[in-house]
Amino acid sequence: MKQKLTFKTMLSPELHRVLTSMGIKEPTPIQEESFSLIKQNNDVICQSSTGSGKTLAFAMPLSEMINNNDKLVALILVPTRELCEQVSEEFKKITKHKKLNVVEVYGGVSIENQIRKVPHAHIVVATPGRLCDLIDRKAINLKTIKKVVLDEADRMLDMGFVNDVEYILEQTPKGRQTLMFSATIQKEIDYLIKRHMREPKKIKIKEHVDKSLLKQYFYIVNPRERFDLLVYLLKEEKAPYAIVFCGTRRTVDLVAHNLKNNGLEAHAIHGGLTQNRRKKVMTSFHGKSTHILVASDIAARGIDIQMLSHVYNYDVPKTSQDYVHRIGRTARAGHEGVAVTIVTDKDFDSFRNVQRDKTLDIMELRPPKLPRTNYNKFLPRQQNVHPQSRRNLHRSHRSRHHN
């Protein structure tokens, strides 16, 4: 029988002390299975969901393998700014005893500041677009890279970064170690694996959600009752610590705005907000001064949210994989969780796709008598929107008038 690893047996005494001070006592399955494979310099593909402890799964062995007399050695590619900051912060915490220099590189902030910092970095955590900008400016040299991590690989490809990722990998030495962490393995990912990885070891970790503690419900309502039901449920739960998933940025903004108008403190997060605004929203949410986060899938995929009591699908996910990824943000670490999906007639096809997964046990509930709510279909003038998103809005507005 394989002996269970502990941090004490896995790690150097210094790193063990750091994790103990952070209140992290035992390795998760993904950390236990991947640690020795990574330390032995294997290429590794790890299929795992949010909440499985994947950041530490690659951060711990890499921090043990890198010395502060090295040049730039490790590159971690991530899909979003939030994830970039979170991964960078995790590395900084666990490498403080080695005095490694960790630099984050992402868009929406000054590139000049990043250009000044990267020559002194041992580890760079980056989003693909901004890293390509630095490469094109010859502000970063990836020829010294020995370790590359593709974190949330499937989401990077969903967001259209496949060409950027290819371009970046081609700038690194062929003999590097490559680690890939992804919730799903798609055709494009399979192509990247065959082209850029060397006989990778594969690890597949089961969902981190305790399904015995997760209650899953769905309601079928008329489209005009969808928001009424959401408000009713949120108020009945007396401000749960919840995330509401919406399909588009505009719906995210509308739902968050209208929840506030109905007395519920909610904040929107999506890729169209400035980095400063997104940071404020997440600080408020982690500090629990905000209890309700309204998010798009892409934004939510790139943020680490630990203890959610409720997940609401205001827009139904298109596949069972997307559904599982959403509900995987609750019912963790022995706590109960609730996942609620609101279904209207436009959602029937998508919800049938979800229900094809026979491992899911989603119970139908009859909607209660719903009081009408105030719902304004128009947003106030947008504040804190990323300039690129504003340009896109103006561009689409002009094209509608010209066509």
Across the 403 residues of the chain, what is the mean pLDDT of every consecutive 10-residue run? 71 88 84 93 87 86 88 94 88 90 93 95 96 96 96 85 94 96 81 92 74 87 95 84 90 94 89 75 71 79 68 92 79 74 95 90 94 88 51 37 30
Q: Contact, 302 vs 273, CB < 8 A? A: no
User: Positive or negative CA dihedral for 228, 257, 236, 209?
Assistant: positive
Count up the domains in the chain and report the number: 2
Residues 11 and 147 both lie in one domain: yes
Residues 130 and 232 both lie in one domain: no
Residues 123 and 269 both lie in one domain: no
Task: Tell me the residue length of the chain.
Answer: 403
| Prediction pTM value | 0.71
Roughly what angle, to the nearest 10 degrees, separates helices 162-170 and 128-136?
40
- Cα–Cα distance for residue pair 320/327, rounded to 1 Å: 10
User: Positive or negative CA dihedral for 162, 296, 254, 368?
Assistant: positive
- Cα–Cα distance for residue pair 87/178, rounded to 1 Å: 17
**Cα first-last separation, the chain:** 69
Residues 189 and 258 both lie in one domain: no
The reply to whether 46 falls in a domain is: yes
Tokens of 209: 């959600």
Q: Shortest CA distance to 248 belongs to which of 182, 200, 183, 315?
A: 315
CATH number at residue 337: 3.40.50.300
The reply to whether 394 falls in a domain is: no
Residues 163 and 233 both lie in one domain: no
CA gyration radius for the chain? 22
Q: Contact, 245 vs 266, CB < 8 A? A: no
Q: Which domain holds residue 128?
A: 7-204
What burial letters (b/e) apply to 159-178, b meaning 16+ CB within 10 Å?
Answer: bebbebbeebbeebeeebbb
Residues 55 and 200 both lie in one domain: yes
pLDDT of residue 2: 55
pLDDT of residue 232: 95
The reply to whether 403 falls in a domain is: no
Residues 194 and 258 both lie in one domain: no
pLDDT of residue 301: 62
pLDDT of residue 392: 45
pLDDT of residue 333: 56
pLDDT of residue 399: 32
- Cα–Cα distance for residue pair 376/341, rounded to 1 Å: 22
- Residue 7 has phi, psi (to 5 degrees) of -60, -30
The reply to whether 379 falls in a domain is: yes
Residues facing 296 on adjacent strands: 246
pLDDT of residue 402: 30
Q: Shortest CA distance to 302 belongs to which of 62, 75, 87, 132?
A: 87
Tokens of 364: 């139908």
- Cα–Cα distance for residue pair 166/196, rounded to 1 Å: 9
Residues 249 and 155 both lie in one domain: no
